[in-house]
Amino acid sequence: MSLLFVHKLSTYTMSEAEWNQFLLSLIEGADKNPVLFSILKQVSLLSVSERSVVLSTDSQGFFIFIQKRVPEIEERLSLFTKKTLSIEVVVSTTQEKKMKEAPLLSFEPSQEDVYRKAGLNGKYSFDNFAVSGSNQVAYAAAQAVADNLSKAYNPLFLYGGVGVGKTHLAQAVASKILGDDPQKRVVFSPGEQFTNELIESIREKNTAKFRKRYRHLNLLIVDDIQFIAGKNTVQEEFFHTFNAVVSGGGQIIFTSDRPPQDIKNLEDRLRSRFAGGLTVDVQPPDFELRTAILLIKAKEKGIELGIDLARIIAEQVSDSRSLEGTLLSIYARTLGREEKITLTVVESFFHTESEVRPKIRITPHEILNVVCSYYNIKQSQLKSPIRSESLSLPRQVTMFLLRRELNMKHQEIADLLKRRDHTTIMHGVEKINKMLVKDDFFKKEVDRIIQTLHLST
Protein backbone atom coordinates (compact mmCIF):
# COMPACT_ATOMS: atom_id res chain seq x y z
CA MET A 1 0.00 0.00 0.00
CA SER A 2 1.43 3.37 -0.97
CA LEU A 3 0.59 6.92 -0.09
CA LEU A 4 0.73 9.44 -2.91
CA PHE A 5 1.31 13.15 -2.46
CA VAL A 6 1.10 15.21 -5.65
CA HIS A 7 1.39 18.92 -6.38
CA LYS A 8 0.26 19.48 -9.97
CA LEU A 9 1.82 22.12 -12.12
CA SER A 10 2.13 22.43 -15.85
CA THR A 11 4.27 19.67 -17.35
CA TYR A 12 7.90 19.71 -18.40
CA THR A 13 10.16 16.89 -19.52
CA MET A 14 13.14 16.49 -17.16
CA SER A 15 15.87 13.91 -17.54
CA GLU A 16 17.47 12.00 -14.69
CA ALA A 17 20.74 13.80 -15.36
CA GLU A 18 18.99 17.15 -14.97
CA TRP A 19 17.49 15.99 -11.66
CA ASN A 20 20.96 15.12 -10.41
CA GLN A 21 22.21 18.54 -11.48
CA PHE A 22 19.31 20.09 -9.59
CA LEU A 23 20.39 18.26 -6.43
CA LEU A 24 23.92 19.60 -6.83
CA SER A 25 22.50 23.12 -7.16
CA LEU A 26 21.19 22.81 -3.60
CA ILE A 27 24.75 22.87 -2.23
CA GLU A 28 26.29 25.25 -4.74
CA GLY A 29 25.85 28.91 -5.49
CA ALA A 30 24.64 31.71 -3.28
CA ASP A 31 21.22 30.23 -2.47
CA LYS A 32 22.32 26.97 -0.83
CA ASN A 33 20.02 24.56 0.99
CA PRO A 34 22.31 21.74 2.16
CA VAL A 35 19.80 20.24 4.60
CA LEU A 36 17.23 19.78 1.82
CA PHE A 37 20.00 18.25 -0.29
CA SER A 38 20.80 15.76 2.50
CA ILE A 39 17.18 14.67 2.77
CA LEU A 40 16.59 14.35 -0.99
CA LYS A 41 19.70 12.18 -1.21
CA GLN A 42 17.98 9.64 1.04
CA VAL A 43 14.99 9.07 -1.25
CA SER A 44 14.99 7.03 -4.44
CA LEU A 45 14.33 8.52 -7.85
CA LEU A 46 11.65 6.06 -8.89
CA SER A 47 10.98 7.46 -12.35
CA VAL A 48 11.30 10.53 -14.54
CA SER A 49 8.56 10.97 -17.11
CA GLU A 50 7.24 13.72 -19.35
CA ARG A 51 4.94 14.89 -16.62
CA SER A 52 6.57 14.22 -13.31
CA VAL A 53 9.50 13.25 -11.15
CA VAL A 54 8.48 10.41 -8.83
CA LEU A 55 10.41 10.05 -5.58
CA SER A 56 10.05 6.98 -3.39
CA THR A 57 10.81 6.37 0.29
CA ASP A 58 9.91 3.70 2.81
CA SER A 59 10.17 6.21 5.68
CA GLN A 60 7.14 8.10 6.89
CA GLY A 61 9.47 10.60 8.54
CA PHE A 62 11.13 11.45 5.26
CA PHE A 63 7.76 11.62 3.52
CA ILE A 64 6.51 14.22 6.02
CA PHE A 65 9.80 16.13 5.88
CA ILE A 66 9.66 16.35 2.08
CA GLN A 67 5.88 16.90 2.02
CA LYS A 68 6.28 20.05 4.07
CA ARG A 69 8.91 21.28 1.63
CA VAL A 70 7.21 20.41 -1.67
CA PRO A 71 6.38 24.06 -2.43
CA GLU A 72 10.02 24.95 -1.77
CA ILE A 73 11.26 22.08 -3.96
CA GLU A 74 8.96 23.10 -6.79
CA GLU A 75 10.06 26.70 -6.51
CA ARG A 76 13.72 25.67 -6.61
CA LEU A 77 13.01 23.44 -9.61
CA SER A 78 11.27 26.30 -11.37
CA LEU A 79 14.24 28.59 -10.81
CA PHE A 80 16.67 25.86 -11.89
CA THR A 81 14.86 24.76 -15.08
CA LYS A 82 13.06 28.01 -15.93
CA LYS A 83 10.03 25.69 -16.37
CA THR A 84 7.44 24.01 -14.18
CA LEU A 85 6.83 20.35 -13.48
CA SER A 86 4.99 18.08 -11.09
CA ILE A 87 6.49 16.33 -8.07
CA GLU A 88 5.16 12.97 -6.85
CA VAL A 89 6.29 11.53 -3.54
CA VAL A 90 5.51 7.88 -2.83
CA VAL A 91 5.70 6.24 0.57
CA SER A 92 5.82 2.48 0.21
CA THR A 93 6.57 -0.25 2.73
CA THR A 94 7.18 -2.59 -0.20
CA GLN A 95 9.81 -0.47 -1.90
CA GLU A 96 12.07 -2.74 -3.92
CA LYS A 97 15.64 -3.16 -2.76
CA LYS A 98 18.30 -3.44 -5.43
CA MET A 99 20.46 -6.44 -4.66
CA LYS A 100 23.36 -7.85 -6.56
CA GLU A 101 23.32 -11.64 -6.74
CA ALA A 102 26.75 -13.05 -6.03
CA PRO A 103 28.03 -15.86 -8.24
CA LEU A 104 28.15 -19.34 -6.74
CA LEU A 105 31.92 -19.45 -7.18
CA SER A 106 34.01 -16.32 -7.12
CA PHE A 107 37.67 -15.68 -6.57
CA GLU A 108 37.15 -11.92 -6.48
CA PRO A 109 37.28 -10.38 -2.99
CA SER A 110 33.93 -9.16 -1.68
CA GLN A 111 33.32 -5.48 -1.01
CA GLU A 112 33.50 -6.26 2.71
CA ASP A 113 36.93 -7.87 2.23
CA VAL A 114 38.19 -4.86 0.26
CA TYR A 115 36.97 -2.44 2.93
CA ARG A 116 38.36 -4.56 5.76
CA LYS A 117 41.79 -4.73 4.14
CA ALA A 118 41.79 -0.92 3.82
CA GLY A 119 40.78 -0.47 7.46
CA LEU A 120 37.28 0.82 6.64
CA ASN A 121 34.03 -0.16 8.31
CA GLY A 122 31.95 0.28 5.15
CA LYS A 123 29.05 2.18 6.71
CA TYR A 124 30.32 5.67 5.93
CA SER A 125 29.44 7.12 2.53
CA PHE A 126 28.59 10.43 0.93
CA ASP A 127 24.98 9.26 0.55
CA ASN A 128 24.37 8.96 4.29
CA PHE A 129 26.29 12.09 5.28
CA ALA A 130 23.95 14.87 6.38
CA VAL A 131 25.02 18.29 5.07
CA SER A 132 24.37 21.72 6.57
CA GLY A 133 26.08 25.07 6.81
CA SER A 134 28.40 23.73 9.52
CA ASN A 135 30.01 21.13 7.29
CA GLN A 136 29.18 21.93 3.66
CA VAL A 137 32.68 23.23 2.85
CA ALA A 138 34.23 20.01 4.21
CA TYR A 139 31.66 17.94 2.30
CA ALA A 140 32.36 19.73 -0.99
CA ALA A 141 36.13 19.43 -0.46
CA ALA A 142 35.88 15.69 0.28
CA GLN A 143 33.78 15.13 -2.84
CA ALA A 144 36.27 17.11 -4.93
CA VAL A 145 39.08 14.90 -3.62
CA ALA A 146 37.09 11.73 -4.36
CA ASP A 147 36.41 12.93 -7.91
CA ASN A 148 39.97 14.14 -8.56
CA LEU A 149 42.27 12.05 -6.40
CA SER A 150 45.59 13.80 -5.68
CA LYS A 151 44.65 16.67 -8.01
CA ALA A 152 42.16 18.74 -5.99
CA TYR A 153 43.46 19.32 -2.45
CA ASN A 154 46.50 17.37 -1.34
CA PRO A 155 46.62 16.96 1.56
CA LEU A 156 43.06 17.54 2.76
CA PHE A 157 43.13 18.39 6.48
CA LEU A 158 39.78 18.14 8.33
CA TYR A 159 39.69 19.33 11.93
CA GLY A 160 37.02 19.82 14.57
CA GLY A 161 35.59 18.44 17.80
CA VAL A 162 34.35 14.95 18.58
CA GLY A 163 31.43 13.65 16.51
CA VAL A 164 31.30 16.40 13.86
CA GLY A 165 31.77 14.01 10.90
CA LYS A 166 35.51 14.18 10.12
CA THR A 167 36.01 10.42 10.07
CA HIS A 168 32.75 9.91 8.18
CA LEU A 169 33.88 12.21 5.36
CA ALA A 170 37.38 10.75 5.21
CA GLN A 171 36.05 7.20 4.96
CA ALA A 172 33.39 8.31 2.46
CA VAL A 173 36.20 9.35 0.12
CA ALA A 174 37.85 5.94 0.54
CA SER A 175 34.55 4.11 0.01
CA LYS A 176 33.91 5.95 -3.26
CA ILE A 177 37.44 5.31 -4.52
CA LEU A 178 37.24 1.58 -3.77
CA GLY A 179 33.66 1.40 -5.05
CA ASP A 180 34.83 2.77 -8.40
CA ASP A 181 37.99 0.65 -8.50
CA PRO A 182 38.58 -2.09 -5.88
CA GLN A 183 42.16 -2.42 -7.12
CA LYS A 184 43.12 1.00 -5.76
CA ARG A 185 45.57 0.86 -2.87
CA VAL A 186 43.84 2.53 0.10
CA VAL A 187 44.71 2.54 3.80
CA PHE A 188 42.76 4.14 6.65
CA SER A 189 44.87 4.28 9.80
CA PRO A 190 44.33 6.11 13.10
CA GLY A 191 47.46 7.92 14.28
CA GLU A 192 47.77 5.53 17.20
CA GLN A 193 47.63 2.51 14.89
CA PHE A 194 50.31 3.99 12.62
CA THR A 195 52.49 4.51 15.70
CA ASN A 196 51.93 1.01 17.07
CA GLU A 197 52.60 -0.66 13.72
CA LEU A 198 55.84 1.27 13.34
CA ILE A 199 56.99 0.31 16.85
CA GLU A 200 56.13 -3.33 16.16
CA SER A 201 58.02 -3.29 12.85
CA ILE A 202 61.10 -1.86 14.56
CA ARG A 203 60.88 -4.45 17.33
CA GLU A 204 60.64 -7.25 14.76
CA LYS A 205 63.32 -5.63 12.58
CA ASN A 206 60.94 -5.60 9.64
CA THR A 207 60.46 -1.94 8.74
CA ALA A 208 60.53 -2.88 5.04
CA LYS A 209 57.09 -4.52 5.41
CA PHE A 210 55.75 -1.47 7.21
CA ARG A 211 57.03 0.86 4.50
CA LYS A 212 55.65 -1.33 1.74
CA ARG A 213 52.19 -1.05 3.34
CA TYR A 214 52.22 2.72 3.80
CA ARG A 215 54.42 4.24 1.11
CA HIS A 216 52.90 2.88 -2.11
CA LEU A 217 49.29 4.04 -1.90
CA ASN A 218 46.69 5.78 -3.99
CA LEU A 219 45.03 7.08 -0.82
CA LEU A 220 46.31 7.31 2.74
CA ILE A 221 43.97 8.52 5.49
CA VAL A 222 45.36 9.17 8.97
CA ASP A 223 42.70 9.74 11.61
CA ASP A 224 43.66 11.85 14.65
CA ILE A 225 47.04 12.75 13.20
CA GLN A 226 47.78 14.85 16.32
CA PHE A 227 48.60 11.56 18.07
CA ILE A 228 52.06 11.45 16.45
CA ALA A 229 53.05 14.85 17.91
CA GLY A 230 55.99 14.68 20.30
CA LYS A 231 57.06 11.23 19.05
CA ASN A 232 60.30 11.91 17.20
CA THR A 233 60.83 8.51 15.59
CA VAL A 234 57.21 8.35 14.42
CA GLN A 235 57.38 11.88 12.99
CA GLU A 236 60.60 11.04 11.16
CA GLU A 237 59.00 7.97 9.58
CA PHE A 238 55.81 9.79 8.73
CA PHE A 239 57.73 12.62 7.07
CA HIS A 240 59.19 10.11 4.61
CA THR A 241 55.83 8.33 4.27
CA PHE A 242 54.16 11.62 3.35
CA ASN A 243 56.80 12.42 0.74
CA ALA A 244 56.65 8.92 -0.75
CA VAL A 245 52.86 8.88 -1.11
CA VAL A 246 52.60 12.38 -2.59
CA SER A 247 55.57 11.99 -4.94
CA GLY A 248 54.06 8.70 -6.10
CA GLY A 249 50.86 10.48 -7.12
CA GLY A 250 48.86 9.45 -4.06
CA GLN A 251 46.35 11.43 -2.01
CA ILE A 252 46.56 12.07 1.74
CA ILE A 253 43.70 13.01 4.08
CA PHE A 254 44.15 13.93 7.73
CA THR A 255 41.66 14.38 10.54
CA SER A 256 42.49 16.11 13.80
CA ASP A 257 40.90 17.86 16.76
CA ARG A 258 42.82 21.04 15.90
CA PRO A 259 44.42 22.78 12.89
CA PRO A 260 48.09 22.09 12.02
CA GLN A 261 49.35 25.34 13.54
CA ASP A 262 47.81 24.42 16.91
CA ILE A 263 49.28 20.93 17.21
CA LYS A 264 51.91 21.19 19.92
CA ASN A 265 55.27 19.41 19.58
CA LEU A 266 54.80 18.82 15.86
CA GLU A 267 57.90 19.21 13.70
CA ASP A 268 57.84 22.34 11.54
CA ARG A 269 58.50 20.37 8.36
CA LEU A 270 55.41 18.25 9.02
CA ARG A 271 53.32 21.26 10.02
CA SER A 272 54.28 22.90 6.73
CA ARG A 273 53.25 19.85 4.72
CA PHE A 274 49.99 19.37 6.62
CA ALA A 275 49.00 22.97 5.90
CA GLY A 276 50.14 22.79 2.27
CA GLY A 277 46.79 21.65 0.90
CA LEU A 278 43.31 22.61 2.13
CA THR A 279 42.52 22.91 5.84
CA VAL A 280 38.81 22.87 6.76
CA ASP A 281 37.16 23.50 10.12
CA VAL A 282 34.20 21.13 10.61
CA GLN A 283 31.79 22.77 13.04
CA PRO A 284 29.36 20.96 15.39
CA PRO A 285 25.96 20.23 13.82
CA ASP A 286 23.21 22.80 14.18
CA PHE A 287 19.65 21.90 15.17
CA GLU A 288 18.40 21.37 11.61
CA LEU A 289 21.33 19.10 10.80
CA ARG A 290 20.83 17.02 13.95
CA THR A 291 17.21 16.54 12.92
CA ALA A 292 18.30 15.40 9.46
CA ILE A 293 20.86 13.00 10.98
CA LEU A 294 18.17 11.41 13.15
CA LEU A 295 15.88 10.90 10.16
CA ILE A 296 18.73 9.35 8.16
CA LYS A 297 19.69 7.02 11.03
CA ALA A 298 16.06 6.03 11.57
CA LYS A 299 15.72 5.17 7.88
CA GLU A 300 18.92 3.10 7.93
CA LYS A 301 17.71 1.14 10.99
CA GLY A 302 14.15 0.69 9.73
CA ILE A 303 12.76 2.72 12.62
CA GLU A 304 9.62 4.76 12.05
CA LEU A 305 10.29 8.26 13.37
CA GLY A 306 8.16 11.32 12.71
CA ILE A 307 9.73 14.69 11.96
CA ASP A 308 8.25 16.30 15.09
CA LEU A 309 9.73 13.61 17.34
CA ALA A 310 13.08 13.91 15.58
CA ARG A 311 13.07 17.62 16.37
CA ILE A 312 12.34 16.95 20.05
CA ILE A 313 15.27 14.51 20.28
CA ALA A 314 17.54 16.93 18.39
CA GLU A 315 16.72 19.64 20.93
CA GLN A 316 17.86 17.39 23.77
CA VAL A 317 21.01 15.92 22.20
CA SER A 318 23.66 18.31 20.92
CA ASP A 319 26.43 15.78 20.25
CA SER A 320 25.98 14.17 16.82
CA ARG A 321 27.81 11.03 17.90
CA SER A 322 25.20 10.48 20.64
CA LEU A 323 22.22 10.87 18.30
CA GLU A 324 22.25 7.29 17.03
CA GLY A 325 22.70 5.85 20.52
CA THR A 326 19.84 7.95 21.85
CA LEU A 327 17.59 6.90 18.96
CA LEU A 328 18.33 3.21 19.53
CA SER A 329 17.79 3.56 23.29
CA ILE A 330 14.38 5.14 22.70
CA TYR A 331 13.51 2.49 20.12
CA ALA A 332 14.50 -0.28 22.56
CA ARG A 333 11.71 0.88 24.88
CA THR A 334 9.14 -0.01 22.22
CA LEU A 335 10.43 -3.53 21.52
CA GLY A 336 8.22 -6.40 22.63
CA ARG A 337 5.26 -4.09 23.10
CA GLU A 338 4.34 -3.60 19.44
CA GLU A 339 4.50 0.11 20.13
CA LYS A 340 5.78 2.87 17.88
CA ILE A 341 7.97 5.71 19.05
CA THR A 342 5.51 8.27 20.36
CA LEU A 343 5.73 11.58 22.16
CA THR A 344 5.03 9.76 25.44
CA VAL A 345 7.90 7.33 24.84
CA VAL A 346 10.35 10.14 23.99
CA GLU A 347 9.35 12.32 26.94
CA SER A 348 9.51 9.33 29.28
CA PHE A 349 13.01 8.50 28.05
CA PHE A 350 14.41 11.98 28.68
CA HIS A 351 12.61 12.25 32.01
CA THR A 352 14.18 8.97 33.16
CA GLU A 353 17.59 9.95 31.83
CA SER A 354 17.53 13.21 33.79
CA GLU A 355 16.72 11.27 36.97
CA VAL A 356 19.38 8.56 36.64
CA ARG A 357 22.11 10.62 35.01
CA PRO A 358 24.64 11.76 37.61
CA LYS A 359 24.70 15.48 38.11
CA ILE A 360 27.85 16.66 36.38
CA ARG A 361 29.26 19.92 37.57
CA ILE A 362 32.31 21.50 36.08
CA THR A 363 34.80 22.54 38.75
CA PRO A 364 37.33 25.40 38.69
CA HIS A 365 40.12 22.82 38.78
CA GLU A 366 38.78 21.15 35.60
CA ILE A 367 38.67 24.48 33.77
CA LEU A 368 42.29 25.17 34.73
CA ASN A 369 43.28 21.66 33.61
CA VAL A 370 41.63 21.96 30.17
CA VAL A 371 43.01 25.44 29.47
CA CYS A 372 46.53 24.46 30.55
CA SER A 373 46.38 21.30 28.44
CA TYR A 374 45.17 23.23 25.39
CA TYR A 375 47.89 25.89 25.62
CA ASN A 376 50.52 23.41 26.84
CA ILE A 377 51.37 25.31 30.03
CA LYS A 378 51.44 24.43 33.74
CA GLN A 379 48.95 25.64 36.37
CA SER A 380 51.82 27.16 38.29
CA GLN A 381 52.59 29.33 35.24
CA LEU A 382 48.92 30.31 34.95
CA LYS A 383 48.98 31.55 38.55
CA SER A 384 52.42 33.14 38.34
CA PRO A 385 53.02 36.93 38.21
CA ILE A 386 54.68 36.59 34.77
CA ARG A 387 52.86 38.77 32.20
CA SER A 388 54.24 37.38 28.94
CA GLU A 389 51.81 37.14 26.01
CA SER A 390 52.12 33.34 25.98
CA LEU A 391 50.65 33.28 29.51
CA SER A 392 48.37 36.33 29.49
CA LEU A 393 45.95 34.97 26.88
CA PRO A 394 45.46 31.53 28.54
CA ARG A 395 45.05 33.30 31.87
CA GLN A 396 42.35 35.63 30.48
CA VAL A 397 40.58 32.72 28.77
CA THR A 398 40.52 30.98 32.15
CA MET A 399 39.00 34.10 33.76
CA PHE A 400 36.36 34.21 31.03
CA LEU A 401 35.45 30.52 31.42
CA LEU A 402 35.28 30.69 35.21
CA ARG A 403 32.75 33.51 34.84
CA ARG A 404 30.86 31.95 31.93
CA GLU A 405 30.67 28.35 33.12
CA LEU A 406 30.57 28.74 36.91
CA ASN A 407 29.44 32.33 37.38
CA MET A 408 32.20 32.81 39.93
CA LYS A 409 32.62 36.23 41.51
CA HIS A 410 35.47 38.38 40.25
CA GLN A 411 37.21 38.32 43.61
CA GLU A 412 36.91 34.53 43.83
CA ILE A 413 38.62 34.23 40.45
CA ALA A 414 41.29 36.69 41.54
CA ASP A 415 41.99 34.60 44.64
CA LEU A 416 42.11 31.36 42.61
CA LEU A 417 44.52 32.76 40.02
CA LYS A 418 46.53 34.75 42.58
CA ARG A 419 45.76 38.10 40.94
CA ARG A 420 45.97 41.35 42.85
CA ASP A 421 42.26 42.27 42.88
CA HIS A 422 38.94 41.83 41.09
CA THR A 423 39.56 44.67 38.61
CA THR A 424 42.22 42.55 36.87
CA ILE A 425 39.61 39.85 36.34
CA MET A 426 37.04 42.34 35.04
CA HIS A 427 39.50 43.69 32.46
CA GLY A 428 40.53 40.15 31.43
CA VAL A 429 36.94 38.98 30.87
CA GLU A 430 36.08 42.17 29.00
CA LYS A 431 39.08 41.71 26.72
CA ILE A 432 38.08 38.13 25.83
CA ASN A 433 34.50 39.21 25.12
CA LYS A 434 35.77 41.85 22.68
CA MET A 435 38.11 39.38 20.99
CA LEU A 436 35.26 36.89 20.53
CA VAL A 437 33.27 39.50 18.61
CA LYS A 438 36.13 40.66 16.40
CA ASP A 439 38.20 37.50 15.82
CA ASP A 440 36.41 34.49 14.27
CA PHE A 441 39.48 32.28 14.53
CA PHE A 442 39.85 33.02 18.23
CA LYS A 443 36.14 32.34 18.76
CA LYS A 444 36.55 28.89 17.21
CA GLU A 445 39.53 28.30 19.48
CA VAL A 446 37.51 29.14 22.60
CA ASP A 447 34.61 27.02 21.30
CA ARG A 448 36.95 24.05 21.00
CA ILE A 449 38.16 24.58 24.58
CA ILE A 450 34.57 24.73 25.83
CA GLN A 451 33.68 21.59 23.89
CA THR A 452 36.69 19.75 25.34
CA LEU A 453 35.72 20.96 28.81
CA HIS A 454 32.22 19.50 28.55
CA LEU A 455 33.43 16.25 26.99
CA SER A 456 35.96 15.75 29.79
CA THR A 457 33.42 15.99 32.60
- Residue 195: in which H helix or E strand, if any? helix 191-203
**Residue 322 has what pLDDT?**
82
Bridge partners (DSSP) of residue 91 are: 3, 57
CA distance 172 to 154: 16
Which CATH architecture best describes the domain 364-455? Answer: Orthogonal Bundle (1.10)
- Where along the chain do the CATH 1.10.8 domains lie? 287-356
- For domain 2-92, give its CATH number from 3.30.300.180, 1.10.357.10, 3.40.50.300, 3.40.50.740: 3.30.300.180
Determine phi and psi for 253, rounding to 5 degrees. -125, 135
Domain with CATH 1.10.1750.10 in the chain: 364-455
CATH architecture of 287-356: Orthogonal Bundle (1.10)
| Whether the model pTM is above 0.75 | no
Name the residue among 82, 84, 79, 64 with its Cα closest to residue 33: 79
**Dihedral class, residue 407 (left if φ above 0, else alpha if ψ from -120 to 50, else beta):** left
409 sits in the region (left: phi over 0; alpha: psi -120 to 50; else beta) called beta
pLDDT of residue 338: 65
Q: For residues 340 and 331, what is the distance between their CA atoms, to the nearest angstrom?
A: 8
The answer for residues whose C-beta is within 8 angstroms of residue 304's C-beta and 6 or more apart is: 59, 60, 61, 298, 340, 341
Whether the CB-CB separation of 189 and 139 falls below 8 Å is answered with no
The pLDDT value recorded for residue 456 is: 57
Residue 12 is predicted with a pLDDT of 53
Distance from the Cα of residue 133 to its chain's centroid: 12
Long-range contacts, stretch 256-261, CB < 8 angstroms, 24+ apart: 256/157, 256/158, 256/159, 256/166, 256/224, 256/225, 256/226, 257/159, 257/160, 257/161, 257/162, 257/224, 257/226, 257/448, 257/452, 258/159, 258/226, 258/448, 259/157, 259/159, 260/157
The boundaries of every CATH 3.40.50.300 domain in the chain are 112-281
Contact at 8 Å (CB) between 299 and 59? yes
CATH 3.30.300.180 positions along the chain are 2-92
Residue type, 207: T
Instruction: Please give the helix or strand (H or E) that residue 370 lies within, else none.
Output: helix 364-375
Walking along the chain (457 residues) 10 residues at a time, the average pLDDT comes out as: 50 68 74 70 73 74 72 79 77 50 50 82 84 84 90 91 88 92 92 93 92 94 94 95 95 94 93 93 82 87 86 79 87 79 85 55 86 89 88 93 84 89 85 83 86 70
Q: Give residue 162's pLDDT.
A: 79
Beta carbons within 8 Å of 37's beta carbon, 6+ residues apart: 23, 26, 27, 131
Task: Check residue 387 and give its pLDDT.
Answer: 84
- Beta partners for residue 254, in sequence order: 157, 222
What are the CA-CA distances from residue 300 to residues 25, 123, 156, 297, 303 (Å)? 25, 10, 29, 5, 8
The helices-and-strands tally (H runs, E runs) of the chain is 21, 9
Question: What topology does CATH give the domain 112-281?
Answer: Rossmann fold (3.40.50)
